[in-house]
Amino acid sequence: MNLPLINNDNAGNSYYGWTTNNLDWAPESRGFTSTQCANWINGFFGQTCAFANSTTFNLILPVSFESLSLPATASKFRFNRLGISKDMGNPSTTTMDSQYCGIDCIDLIPYFFERPESYYWAVLNSHSLSIFVDNYTNSTQRYTFFSCGWLKDPLFPASVFVQNAYFLWTFLPGLAAGRPSLAFGVNNRQNFVFPATTTPDPIANYPVSCQTATPGANTTEFYLRDNVAPNKAVGYIPNVLKSSLNLSVGGTYRNTAVDPDGSNNPYWKCVAKMGNESILMRVWAPGLA
């Protein structure tokens, strides 16, 4: 069974790629380019939220609190191929302040886009863009995952809203995430903390007091916490969950409980590991057994 390459649910999410019972990936999703991604984003929102070419990927998500006006251009972005702008005004040109990593930094164009032998799944809404890549011909570095956008249930008020922006990327077994920082004496990026061993960390990325615990639940919103005391939870990633189950990366799973966003799409793909725990991303997989 083949499906349309792009599908939408009832909760404001758009999906690129799919999984069915007889095919794990959409044949047309092979070799997703930055320009194809920008075209999908702009088609979904009906305005120029993304600008891309062979060397550029610039993104402004259309959330109500964003100070940057559209359109995204070659020189105006909130998120780009290397990091995040923390400008809280509305200049015609923005700068990349918070890199996605430090030395030998991740670059979305060669590491996530423009990979002709890879298959892609992605999910988009006004708060976030998440992309999962299966380079099935490379057994040593098969899976990669990237997400950027605005955290839900955010810690920081509107006056410093840019500190609620986030990025997360994984090259198994590596994993990193962070946000822009406006703190005095701190570099432009504040990193988030993750468990470094197979034993769950009692501080990192677990339900916080503002959540209502569900008896027997093994999956929760994926909250990101600063890696410095007091390890405050800054917010959770849209369309991404954290599970205490030790799931296989690349597997697709059906949520049988109440959907966290009221979506009529119950399917999630394991896109990364965090110790023995699993990170899940929404994917389009209707009718999957």
Residue-wise pLDDT for 4-24, tens only, equals 899 999 999 999 999 887 788
Statement: residue 159 has pLDDT above 60: yes
147-170 mean pLDDT: 95
CA dist., res. 197 & res. 184, Å (int): 32
216 within 8 A of 123, measured Cβ to Cβ = no
In the block, tokens 């191929």 appear at 81
**In Å, what is the CA distance from 44 to each residue of 14, 106, 123, 199?**
7, 27, 11, 41
214-221 mean pLDDT: 67
pLDDT for res 208:
43
pLDDT for res 266:
92
pTM above 0.85, yes or no: yes
74 within 8 A of 51, measured Cβ to Cβ = yes
CA dist., res. 201 & res. 99, Å (int): 26
**Domain ranges (residues) in the chain:** 6-282
Q: What percent of the chain clears pLDDT 90, i.e. is strictly above it?
A: 59
CA dist., res. 21 & res. 108, Å (int): 30
173-182: per-residue pLDDT in tens?
Answer: 677 899 999 9
pLDDT for res 163:
96
Q: Decide which of 276 and 116 is more confident.
A: 116
Strands 143-150 and 56-59: unpaired
28-57: per-residue pLDDT in tens?
Answer: 999 999 999 999 999 999 999 999 999 999
